[in-house]
Amino acid sequence: MTTPAIHADGLVRDFGPIRALDHLSFEVPAGIVFGFLGPNGAGKTTAIRTFLGLVDPTAGSARVLGYDTRREGDRIRERAGALLEHHGLYERLTAEQNLDFAGRIWRMSPGDRRARTRELLEQFGLYARRREAAGKWSRGMKQKLAVARAVFHRPPLVFLDEPTAGLDPVASAALRDDLAALASGQGVTVFLTTHNLVEAERLCDLVGVIRNGKLAALGPPSTLRPRETSTVRVSGTGLDASVAADVSALPGVLGAAIEGGELVVHLREGERASALVSLLVARDVGIDEVRRDRQSLEETFLELVHEDGDR
Amino acid sequence: MIGDILTVAWKEWLEFRDQLLRLRRGGLSALVVLVMLGIFTPIQMGPLWLTSPLMLGYWPLLSSGMVSTLIADAFAGERERHTLETLLASRLSDRAILLGKLVAAMLYGLVFTLANVVVGVVTLTIVHWGEGLQAPAPSHVLYLFSLVTLACSTLAGIGVFISLKASTVRQAQQTLGIIMMVLFIGPVLFIQLLDGDARVSLAARLTTMGTGRIVAWACATLALLSAILIAMGMARFRRGKLSLD
Ligand SMILES: Nc1ncnc2c1ncn2[C@@H]1O[C@H](COP(=O)(O)OP(=O)(O)OP(=O)(O)O)[C@@H](O)[C@H]1O
Ligand SMILES: [Mg+2]
């Protein structure tokens, strides 16, 4: 049995009257990309701070890489990399100096620091501008630099608080690829937070949805994938009100109507569309397409986040 | 540990240097000060500039004043620019971060004095061309730099403490400004408050003590003071508390 990268056990953190984390218990196996998904103020950033030992839990405990966050925070910080809420770059220093500082902090040799700077900045397409003050870079460029700094010393565990915030779609996709490669190729555990469902789905092996400091769902992203609804849409020729009326009469059909030239059929939950299709063929309808409506990602997310018990 | 302290000091230096080289804000005033103190004052005072015991009080005050302009930034600045939490999330120990910042500020004060003295020596040597190198006695140099080092570390200690508590750089600078005023004006006020006889006896006592003993006493006092201040700063420096502000 390998130790899980993160093991949270009944974590509670209060800020005065606000309960930022509410009995949070879950486990992140080593070597995966874990996505922490939740709306603003859900407690994602607080969770990361707690795991890094920067904030002590009010109750409960967490072990990160096998170390207790309360007592052994320094061991955790020694082995982790982090991109927190703010990028934390020194804007008066150049990009190169910012990375060099990270390398010195983690006691990398000068040669290694140079090579790593080149490797990471080239990967992000920023190497040519390494001598510019970081403060003069665009928001997205700073964000990339901050990610580079977080992984600079090749930590086995990386915390990334909204890493793709401020990145354009192309850059986000590229960063996702890099993070995926990091996890699969080098066995690094990535713990990231995001508001973005698509991102969570594309990148993460495991996703936790947090809401009001509580874990609302935990599982592989397929569990988040949009669910099929019981609405079927048919397009084609020969669709008219009389066809709709006949379809409505079929067993298992709750209702049917013509909307925008399409036949929209509401089936009973779990019902297949075969009887419907047979009828349409018998009525000589020229069928172009039969498709089932899917819930949008957004709807799924909203459902998870607002499920009953919301306080 | 030493390596970590130097790492932090190195980063602080890069930031100071950037400020100085930009010739705006800190930079220009540092240059003006250098010209005033390193060139004009020695020309006016002549060789006395190098040997006067008064300079042993003058440089520590000035250099610690320079330290105070920087040290306010130490934690308040990192907090204001949102870099503090990332620094605290690194493997650096609380102690290394604190001491690194102290060392950097102290070095700044030392380098400031050193630069001025070197420029002053060069200026005086040029002005008194043909009379050989105008340099202070080795004992004077020793006294001067011991006092400057300890004065700077005392001020850095005060500054770190204030910077830890302040929520903005401006607030830290204001508090430090007031403290500097007290430090500058306090001794003058004290002497003024003494009546004539007391003043004479104090002068007599100081004269009989001799420069060496006075310097030794001053150094011991400053060393004790800075040790206490640094210890207080360390006790106050709590990672969990800091990162939340
Ligand atoms: N230092 C603090 N002092 C007081 N309250 C805090 C503090 N930090 C967090 N909170 C509160 O805890 C709750 C969770 O905040 P947190 O920053 O963890 O949310 P988040 O999930 O990261 O949100 P976002 O997506 O907006 O970044 C919020 O209600 C917030 O106001
Ligand atoms: Mg957050």
Q: Provide the whole-model pTM.
A: 0.85
Helix (H) or strand (E) run with residue B204 in it: helix B196-236
The last residue of a domain, from among A170, A201, A224: A224
Assigned domain for A308 exists: no
Say whether both A236 and A133 belong to one domain.
no
Residues whose CB is under 5 A from ligand 2 (ion)? A 44-45
Per the structure, the count of domains in chain A is 2
Q: What pLDDT was estimated at residue B27?
A: 65
Assigned domain for A180 exists: yes
Residue with token string 């700044």: B108
Instruction: Please name which of B84, B83, B75 lies closest in space to residue B102, comparing C-alpha atoms.
Output: B75
Say whether both A34 and A53 belong to one domain.
yes
- State whether B86 and A84 contact (CB < 8 Å): yes
Say whether both A76 and A120 belong to one domain.
yes
B139 has a chain A CB within 8 A of its CB: no
The CATH number of residue A153's host domain is 3.40.50.300
Count helices and strands in chain A by DSSP H and E runs: 10, 14
Positions in chain A short of pLDDT 70: 1, 225-227, 297, 307-311
Say whether both A178 and A264 belong to one domain.
no
Q: What pLDDT was estimated at residue B97?
A: 94
Helix (H) or strand (E) run with residue B183 in it: helix B169-193
Say whether both A63 and A210 belong to one domain.
yes
- Nearest-Cα distance to chain A for B121, in Å, is 34
Give A-chain residues touching B86 at CB under 8 angstroms: 82, 84, 86-88
Q: Which domain holds residue A246?
A: 228-294
Could you report the per-residue pLDDT of B44-86, keeping only the tens digit for each?
888 888 888 888 888 898 888 888 878 888 888 999 999 999 9
Could you report the per-residue pLDDT of A141-195, keeping only the tens digit for each?
999 999 999 999 999 999 999 999 888 888 888 888 888 887 887 889 999 999 8
- Nearest-Cα distance to chain B for A227, in Å, is 40
Q: What pLDDT was estimated at residue A74?
A: 94
Residue with token string 């090579």: A115
The CATH number of residue A277's host domain is 3.30.70.100
Give B-chain residues touching A91 at CB under 8 angstroms: 81
Say whether both A35 and A113 belong to one domain.
yes
From CA A51, how far away is CA A55, in angstroms rounded?
8
Say whether both A198 and A285 belong to one domain.
no
Q: Hey, what are B179's tokens?
A: 């403290």
Say whether both A61 and A125 belong to one domain.
yes
Assigned domain for A153 exists: yes
Say whether both A29 and A57 belong to one domain.
yes
A307: CA distance to ligand 1 center in Å?
A: 21
Q: What pLDDT was estimated at residue A43?
A: 95
Say whether both A211 and A256 belong to one domain.
no
Give B-chain residues touching A46 at CB under 8 angstroms: none
Say whether both A193 and A258 belong to one domain.
no
From CA A69, how far away is CA A51, in angstroms rounded?
6
List the single residue in B with minimal CA-CA distance to A55: B240
Axis crossing angle, helix B138-165 with helix B169-193, rounded to the nearest 10: 130
Q: What share of chain A is helix, strand, coil (3-state, %, to 5)?
A: 35, 30, 30
Positions in chain B short of pLDDT 70: 22-27, 242-245
Q: What pLDDT was estimated at residue B207?
A: 81
Residue with token string 């000068």: A110
- Nearest-Cα distance to chain B for A156, in Å, is 14
Q: What pLDDT was estimated at residue A310?
A: 44
Nearest to B240 among A56, A89, A92 (CB): A56
Q: What pLDDT was estimated at residue A224?
A: 72
The last residue of a domain, from among A164, A191, A224: A224
Q: What pLDDT was estimated at residue B45?
A: 84
Q: Around A53, how many Cα atoms within 13 Å sit in the side-chain half-sphere?
A: 26
Say whether both A208 and A96 belong to one domain.
yes
Q: What pLDDT was estimated at residue B51?
A: 82
